[in-house]
Amino acid sequence: MDLRLRMARHTLGKHIRKLSKHQDLPPAAIDRLPAEVLEQVFKVAVPFHISKECNTAVLRLCWVSLRWRRIARQFPFLWASLRIMVPQFADPKSDQRRIRFWQMIDEWIERSAGLRLFLALENSPGCDYGWLVCAACQQLYQRVFKKYFSRIQHLEGVTRHLFTQFSSEPYPMVELQSLVFNVISVKAGRKTWSSLSSFTPNLAQLSLHDTISQPYSLASLPPLRNLTHLSTRIYGYKAWIEHFRLCPRLQEAVIYYCHISPFQMQPDSFDKGPVSLLKLTSLTVIFANDGTGVDLGMFYCMNMPLLMTLRLGSFHLRGFIIPAGRPPPMILDHVKTVQRLSLIFDNLSRPEFHEVLLNLPDLEILDIQDCIDIEQVLSDLRIADEEYSYMPFLPRLRTIILDIRQVVEIDFKVLQAHLDGFLTRRRKNKVDEGCSLHIKFYFSGPALKAFRTFRYGMKFELQGFSHEFLFWDQDVGWSGGRWKYRLDAEEGRWVEGIR
């Protein structure tokens, strides 16, 4: 009897659960939000950058309810960016999957309602970078780029196959303003630069990197007069000049520089006079591991009257080398307008470090990253100030930033003594009147764990001086976003392009 009752109860429960699924349930509170509120929710929940996470976030918002999905389709901005992972459909039985894939891509883009498109590509496994255009790139070009080429504003991850198709089209991509592209051969490198001015006449941002270990000539190519932001790798001094001559209106540049041989410094590089970059305000130069050190001779031919921010560094090399036969003022006179200097080196306790600082009279912010001998750096600043006879050393300096990731030995009493000596003449000359010197310590990575336990014992008591300690919990650096300048190609990954 009990068994029959339990079975009947179980059967009744199944029927009740089945019926409840077909009944109209009252809408949840989250489903009654006004469309204006949902729009703000969508803007906050969807990442700004182009990524798979961005596309996933849009789809997850659409899965909340039918109403959310219906309202999401009314906001074209949600569908204007898309990361396309091009599949390889080698199996003849996959025709239906291929058709459905391109239909979904087309539906997504159509919902953007004519807005400018931001596209990023992930190459198909079948794209082997051969000379013949692979099927995946051909389909992508025919179904997406040929149809929407007049609306694309940002394009990332272009294969050589696609670039060949683009550059051969009679109609330029007039709306394209930002391009991230990789070059894999000397021939392709020159062809890329020669094609940019014709098929992307309004290009403003270019991130162009390569796996080539030798320079290619850019002489006699038409200039990119609308280009304002450049990130690229340059081999040799001659190529340095040619690249900047092609971009006369640059405002910001990130250069990965590989010095290749002394003959690149021959006088014929100056035949056309100095390179004038009248709008350049920020320049980052990361030096590759070539064993010769950091050569600042490339600034000798540069005219940059508005340069405000200069970043120099290497994740492999140490210190500076001033070329023989050219006094430091002759070279550094071309960067004397710099107000913020970031240095990314293990060791800066060298005479050349002082030479650089002595020729930057307007320097306001000194940003030192990854240095393993902080005490020696501050000691050198104090000594330089004592030896600088007629006025205080770096009279406009307002901020010193020490970005520390490695575990180093720091005696804060010794640091205080060095800083006190550095501030002595500044107080006497009232250099800091109304604006005291401020020092920031950023700790991240291994240094974070080592110094966080001693944070309450790290104090300075100096007149006209303020300080702060900032602990960054991520295993990456903080100031200046330094780790985005790492040469990721040396670790098997490409550096992130300009966004």
Q: For the segment 251-264, what is each residue's pLDDT rounded down to a tens digit?
A: 999 998 887 655 44
Euclidean distance between CA atoms 145 and 147, whole angstroms: 5
Classified as helix, coil or strand, 339 is coil
Burial 156-179 (b: 16+ CB within 10 A, else e): bbbbbbbbbbbbeeeebbebbbbb
Residue 68 main-chain phi, psi, to 5 deg: -60, -40
Residue 472: pLDDT over 80: no
Euclidean distance between CA atoms 251 and 105, whole angstroms: 35
Euclidean distance between CA atoms 242 and 54, whole angstroms: 38
Tell me which of 176-185, 324-333, 448-457 is least confident.
324-333
Euclidean distance between CA atoms 286 and 31, whole angstroms: 51
Residue 43: pLDDT over 80: yes
pLDDT score for 267: 44
Q: Whose structure tokens read 């003849």?
A: 92
Residue 471: pLDDT over 70: yes
Torsion sign over Cα 35, 39, 44, 50:
positive
Higher-pLDDT residue of 81 and 408 is 81
| pLDDT mean over 184-205 | 77
- The residue type found at 235 is Y
pLDDT score for 318: 64
pLDDT score for 389: 60
Show Cβ contacts of residue 271 under 8 Å, excluding neighbours closer than 6 positions.
none
- The residue type found at 484 is K
For 284-407, where are the alpha helices, taking DSSP H only? 328-332, 351-358, 374-387
pLDDT digits (tens, 9 = 90+) for 17-39: 554 444 454 556 777 788 888 88
Residue 491: pLDDT over 50: no
Residue 227: pLDDT over 90: yes
Higher-pLDDT residue of 95 and 70 is 70
Q: State how far the alpha carbon of 402 is from the alpha carbons of 75, 151, 319, in Å.
A: 45, 44, 17
Residue 290: pLDDT over 90: no
Residue 383 main-chain phi, psi, to 5 deg: -65, -40
pLDDT score for 151: 92
Burial 210-240 (b: 16+ CB within 10 A, else e): bebeebbebeebeebeebbbbbbbbbbbbbb
Where do the domains of the chain lie? 80-205
Euclidean distance between CA atoms 398 and 395, whole angstroms: 9
